[in-house]
Amino acid sequence: MNSRNLAITGNEPTTSLSNIAVLVEDSLSQLTPDKMEGQMAQPETIFNAPMGSDQVNPSPESLRDLVLRGGDDFWAAGSGQVALEVKGEGGARLLLMGLHAAGFFLVHESKNDSFCSRNPSVAADGHQFVEIHVGGEPMQVPLQNFLDKELAWKVIAGFLRDAKRSPQIEWEVWL
């Protein structure tokens, strides 16, 4: 019989709704956490822009474009920081403060701890500071805590995957 011209002649077994329900129950009972691991829904990610607007599950491509090409007109506007928050168990928040001339200062917050970025390729110098404005207030941050745009994007992309602090940079306790 041609699959395009499927005909029911009355001799084939019929499938009732109760049979379908049993099949679905059987299929669901065979799903174990180890079989579902790769199929679990990703946790929700909230992107809070400096001007206060929220976007749920922003595309990594749009975030990459903002990090690599966004200027001070975006990063230094409004509150002066962006928050990326991964919801759910094991969730965390990554605060991003960027200036075209300095790069990005990142703060990773989870449960009871807070760590800020430290660029391993910048020597510690107690005399070099960058002034950023967060919530309208000036804040002096050591230059060694700023990452160039490419490195910052790698750290942010990793955070989007697992909400953890990236091993690609050093982190130090923040406040």
Q: In the chain, how many domains are there?
A: 2
117-131 residue pLDDT tens:
999 888 877 789 999
Check whether residue 117 and residue 134 sit in a common domain: yes
On the question of pLDDT at 16 being above 80, the answer is: no
State the pTM of this model.
0.74
Same-domain status, 33 and 62: no
- Answer yes or no: is pLDDT of 1 > 60: no
Residue 46 is predicted with a pLDDT of: 95
Mean pLDDT for the stretch of residues 133-157: 95
Same domain, 132 and 154: yes
**Are 51 and 107 members of one domain?**
yes
SS3 assignment for the chain: CCHHHCCCCCCCCCCCHHHHHHHHHHHHHCCCHHHHHHHCCCCCEEEECCCCCEEECCCHHHHHHHHHHCCHHHHCCCCCCEEEEECCCCCEEEEEEEECCCEEEEEEEECCEEEEEECCCCCCCCCCEEEEEECCEEEEEEHHHEECHHHHHHHHHHHHHHCCCCCCCEEEECC
Distance CA 89, CA 117 (A): 23
Q: Do 27 and 66 reside in the same domain of the chain?
A: no
What are the Cα distances from residue 69, in Å, to 30, 89, 99, 100, 151?
48, 32, 11, 9, 14
Q: Are residues 117 and 156 in the same domain?
A: yes
pLDDT per position as a tens digit, 23-73: 334 443 444 444 444 445 668 999 999 998 999 999 999 999 999 999 999
Angle between helices 60-69 and 149-162 (to 10 degrees): 160
- In a shared domain, residues 7 and 29: yes
Q: What is the mean pLDDT of residues 89-112?
A: 93
Q: Is 159 in contact with 166 (CB distance < 8 Å)?
A: yes
| 35 shares its domain with 50 | no
21 lies in the same domain as 73: no
Percent pLDDT > 70 in the chain is: 76
pLDDT at residue 112, rounded to an integer:
85
Please give the angle made by the CA atoms of 60, 160 and 104, to the nearest 5 degrees.
80
CB contact at 8 A, 94 and 82: no
106, 117 contact by CB (below 8 A): yes
Structural domain including 70 reads 45-173
149-167 tens-digit pLDDT: 999 999 999 999 999 999 9
Provide the pLDDT for residue 124: 78
pLDDT of residue 116: 97
Res. 21 pLDDT band, cuts 50 70 90: very low
Q: Does one domain contain both 83 and 129? A: yes
Q: Residue range 77-88: average pLDDT?
A: 93
Say whether both 95 and 17 belong to one domain.
no
Q: Does residue 10 sit in the same domain as residue 57?
A: no
Q: Is 8 or 59 the better-scoring residue by pLDDT?
A: 59
